[in-house]
């Protein structure tokens, strides 16, 4: 496969550059748009170099319109809602799936495999399919417009349970037996052996689940009716007003940029762990 060929070198670089451009250019345009005034953004053609209004736009986006027109809600609060939601979903999901995988792999109880398959089957049922009944349950429990309503229905995860189950199955039985000889009870074994061994899988899952939680749109749209509980993704949508009202595209773009920062940070900071968790076989 290693063939030194100038033409191939150029070609492969060209493909890579093209790929990066396709992904990066829209982000760049978003950034540029967030640094101009509204009038400049809606001109055709749109300017392709950053403008001088970045500071104002981002301040408006984060803290609301100082002129007090109220057309643009403060994104700061929404970011907070999104952050809490995403964090709760990720942590709860990881702890739930760890425990359920632990139960399924290490305990013999009646209908163990049936339960595993039941969990596995829910993989085929995304939130959208069960959204009606789930909404009913959440509404009846009075959890609309609460963090519980935003997070609890999204916490159970067949994918994560399955991932941890597969990981636990690779842990040699002898290790379990050695722990038994050492006198470690089940929870002690879970805490002292399984958890430390699972850290890289947990980190990988955290990255995936954080982004999943952050990007939730449909579910928050249903269970939140008050502005104070809107996550940022919904906030963006609501800024794009239909009809006659003018959309402040510069502010929308600034909000979009802000909304991108936390997931990007999570990926960048946890990249090492993330890759390790997905490819590591040395256990």
Partner 1 sequence: MASIQLKHLIKRYGTGAKTVNVLHGIDATIDDGEFVVIVGPSGCGKSTLLRMIAGLEEVSEGDICIGERIVNQLEPAQRDIAMVFQNYALYPHMTVFDNMAYGLKIANVPSAEIQARVAKAAGILELSHLLQRKPRELSGGQRQRVAMGRAIVRQPQVFLFDEPLSNLDAKLRAQTRLEIQKLHRELGITSLFVTHDQVEAMTLAQRMMVMNGGVVEQFGTPEEVYNQPATTFVASFMGAPPMNLLSKVPGVPVGRVLGIRPEHMHVLPESEGSGWLGEVEALEMLGAERLVYVRVGEERLIVRVDESTQPPAIGAHVRVTARDDRLHWFHAETGLRVASGAHE
Give, as ranges, the residues between 256 and 275 that touch partner 1 (CB under 8 A).
none
Least Cβ distance, residue 17 to partner 1 (angstroms) = 40
Q: Judged by CB under 8 A, does residue 172 bind partner 1? A: yes
* Burial letters 108-140, b for 16+ CB under 10 A, else e: eeeeeeeebeebeebeeeeeeeeeeebbeebee
Give, as ranges, the residues between 178 and 197 that touch partner 1 (CB under 8 A).
178-184, 188, 192-193, 196-197
- Tokens at 99, concatenated: 């425990």
Measured between alpha carbons, how far is 46 from 23 in angstroms, rounded to an integer? 19
Q: Side-chain half-sphere of 186: how many Cα atoms within 13 Å? A: 8
Nearer to partner 1, 45 or 183 (CB): 183
Q: Judged by CB under 8 A, does residue 280 bind partner 1? A: no
Q: Judged by CB under 8 A, does residue 282 bind partner 1? A: yes
Total residues binding partner 1 (CB under 8 A): 18
Question: What are the C-alpha distances in Å from 79 to residues 89, 236, 264?
Answer: 15, 11, 14
Measured between alpha carbons, how far is 143 from 149 in angstroms, rounded to an integer? 5
- Distance of alpha carbon 173 from the chain centroid: 34
Q: Which of 74, 175, 260, 270 binds partner 1 (CB under 8 A)?
A: 175
**Structural contact between residues 175 and 190, judged by C-beta atoms closer than 8 angstroms:** no
Q: Judged by CB under 8 A, does residue 276 bind partner 1? A: no
Give, as ranges, the residues between 189 and 248 that touch partner 1 (CB under 8 A).
192-193, 196-197
Nearer to partner 1, 189 or 219 (CB): 189
Residue ranges that bind partner 1, judged by CB under 8 A: 172, 174-175, 177-184, 188, 192-193, 196-197, 282-283
């Amino acid at each position: 496969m290693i063939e030194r060929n100038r033409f191939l070198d150029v070609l492969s670089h060209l493909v890579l550059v093209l790929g990066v451009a396709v992904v990066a250019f829209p982000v760049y345009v978003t950034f540029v748009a967030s640094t101009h005034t509204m009038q400049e953004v809606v001109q055709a053609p749109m300017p392709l170099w950053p403008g001088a209004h970045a500071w104002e736009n981002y301040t408006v986006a984060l803290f609301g319109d100082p002129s007090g027109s109220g057309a643009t809600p403060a994104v700061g609060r929404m970011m907070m809602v999104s952050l809490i939601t995403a964090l709760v979903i990720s942590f709860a999901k990881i702890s739930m799936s760890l425990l359920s995988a632990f139960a399924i792999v290490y305990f013999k109880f009646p209908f163990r495999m049936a339960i595993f398959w039941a969990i596995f089957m829910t993989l085929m049922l995304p939130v959208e399919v069960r959204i009606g009944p789930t909404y009913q349950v959440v509404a009846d429990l009075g959890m609309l417009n609460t963090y519980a309503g935003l997070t609890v229905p999204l916490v159970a995860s067949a994918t994560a349970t399955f991932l941890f189950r597969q990981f636990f199955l690779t842990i040699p039985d002898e290790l379990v037996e050695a722990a038994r000889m050492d006198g470690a009870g089940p929870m002690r074994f879970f805490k002292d052996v399984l958890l430390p061994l699972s850290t890289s899988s947990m980190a990988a899952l955290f990255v995936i689940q954080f982004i999943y939680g952050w990007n939730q749109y449909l579910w928050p749209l249903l269970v939140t009716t008050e502005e104070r509980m809107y996550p940022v993704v919904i906030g963006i949508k609501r800024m794009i007003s239909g009809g006659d009202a003018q959309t402040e595209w510069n502010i929308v773009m600034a909000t979009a940029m802000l909304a991108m920062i936390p997931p990007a940070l999570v990926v960048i900071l946890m990249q090492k762990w993330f890759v390790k968790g997905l490819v590591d076989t040395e256990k």
